[in-house]
């Protein structure tokens, strides 16, 4: 049973890595043609923001990951 959970976790991680790789590839393509790319915070499974304010964030998934 533990091996099944481990294999499922690896499969999920592999899909996430592929997805992140595709996002990075598209961001680089946009950048190459002069479009500014700015990473934004996202939404966690529980509905909270990925920023340090979490569920108390007033702009969930609508603000940059860094200050400009």
| Predicted pLDDT at 34 | 95
Cβ pair 41, 63 in contact under 8 A: yes
**Rounded to two decimals, what is the model's pTM?**
0.57
| Predicted pLDDT at 4 | 75
CA distance 10 to 20: 15
> Where does the chain show beta strands of DSSP type E?
none
pLDDT in tens, 2-48: 667 777 777 777 787 888 889 899 999 999 999 998 888 999 999 99
Eight-state DSSP code of residue 49: B
Please compute the mean of the pLDDT values over residues 46-61 and round it to a whole number. Answer: 93
* Partners of residue 64 on adjacent β-strands: 40
């Amino acid at each position: 049973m533990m091996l099944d959970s481990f294999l499922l976790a690896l499969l999920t991680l592999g899909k996430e890595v592929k997805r992140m790789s595709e996002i990075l590839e598209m961001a680089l393509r946009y950048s190459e043609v002069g479009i500014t790319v700015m990473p934004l915070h996202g939404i966690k499974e529980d509905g909270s923001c990925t920023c340090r304010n979490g569920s108390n964030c007033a702009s969930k998934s609508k603000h940059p990951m860094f200050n400009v």
